[in-house]
Structure 1
């Protein structure tokens, strides 16, 4: 299984003493060190940071908008790696409601997909430039839909942040908005922020929003 032996890098508070944990998922071509640097900027000192390193610096080979089968078995391996990181935090005494999932780009897509599939009350979900994975009904002009976004989950009020540019070259605005609606339907409390002409980057307002999202976990 891809990513089966992916190391999970750590920073921040020791898991044994942490009040909460943030599982950070990097983007394509990056690594755990990159997303941990972002985590250090936004996470309170009382939180443990866990960041898996994807095999070959990519979680899945094709666009997140490609048919699900084309990204297998890499996507299943990536989701299993997220679950492994969650289990590590829980085994150290950190309950699910004090665990946050956060990521950028590919990592943002993976964070959202994992949360929607696993369900339950999380500490927070933060997706910076990302959306739910698969060729969905919102993909105008794309191949036929292979996904209906009908997740069997209840997020029980989990706070979710989605931030993205309106002209991101990798993340269509329609998918960000569709993802926000799906999470609202799953019972999450969604904060969707769209930034004009920003591109595929993270801005200060997003960092401040994620910092505020994580503060209650400390």
Structure 2
């Protein structure tokens, strides 16, 4: 496949225009979800001053297999998904929003994609919020990079027995981001189902609220 199908998908927004306030939160949905699911989550943050930009995956999935499958089994779709995020970020930059004022927030497959994008494009970001996610790659993956996050706020959370994202991978990812200089919050919730809890919403709200100009 030569053409990236994610480049033709819709983007939905909530809140003010990003160029009017100089900040933005990019929302990345999970498998078999869509932008509407992420905008419904954004409404729970109750942050009227934050522009939310929800990007859509082609066929409701960013890549075909589980995130801990061999990388080759998710190509070229994983590269396509990362390219779509880069395109969206560059569009925001052209509108005057710096990466230091852009947060990436994902759930499940979207949280894995957001984590991988920030890892590969490490610098000071406005924030990374990964609800039930972690870095992409098989169990034997090791992560070594000289890139630094320069204090980027990172909230990474999971249930202790999630059926899609092992707790260990979430903990490993938090350790990687700490080594890269991220300001990391790791939260593991006993017995939590595959969803975003009210406590996670409050923690994310605090991260995002700091970006909004007052």
Coarse TM-score class (shorter-chain normalised): over 0.9
3-state SS, counterpart of residue 188 of structure 2: strand
3-state SS, counterpart of residue 157 of structure 2: strand
Residue 35 of structure 2 aligns with which residue? 32
Residue 174 of structure 2 aligns with which residue? 180
Kindly report which structure 2 residues correspond to 1:191-210, keeping only aligned pairs within 5 A, or say none: 191-210=185-204
Residue 63 of structure 1 aligns with which residue? 66
- Cα distance in 2 between the residues matched to 1:39 and 1:19: 18
RMSD in angstroms over aligned alpha carbons? 1.2
Unaligned runs of 5+ in 2: none
How far residue 49 of structure 1 moved from its aligned partner, in angstroms, is 1.1
Deviations 1:149-197 (A, max 9, x none): 1234210000000111001011101101100000001110100000001
- Cα distance in 1 between the residues matched to 2:193 and 2:89: 31
8 Å CA contact retained: 2:101, 2:126: yes
Residue 103 of structure 1 aligns with which residue? 106
- Cα distance in 2 between the residues matched to 1:151 and 1:67: 20
8 Å CA contact retained: 1:19, 1:46: no
3-state SS, counterpart of residue 86 of structure 1: helix
Q: Say yes or no: does 1:212 pair with 2:206.
A: yes
Give the number of equivalent residue pairs.
Answer: 209
Q: Say yes or no: does 1:54 pair with 2:48.
A: no
How far residue 205 of structure 1 moved from its aligned partner, in angstroms, is 0.3
Kindly report which structure 2 residues correspond to 1:1-218, keeping only aligned pairs within 5 A, or say none: 1-42=4-45, 44-135=47-138, 139=139, 145=140, 147-218=141-212
- Cα distance in 2 between the residues matched to 1:125 and 1:41: 18
| Distance change in 2, residues 1:109/1:43 (3 Å) | farther
How far residue 32 of structure 1 moved from its aligned partner, in angstroms, is 0.8
| Distance change in 2, residues 1:163/1:209 (3 Å) | same
- Cα distance in 1 between the residues matched to 2:172 and 2:145: 13
- Cα distance in 2 between the residues matched to 1:10 and 1:92: 15
Unaligned runs of 5+ in 1: 140-144
TM-score normalised to structure 1 length: 0.92
3-state SS, counterpart of residue 155 of structure 2: strand
TM-score normalised to structure 2 length: 0.94
8 Å CA contact retained: 1:127, 1:162: yes
- Cα distance in 2 between the residues matched to 1:6 and 1:133: 23
Q: Which runs of 4+ in 1 moved over 2 A?
A: none
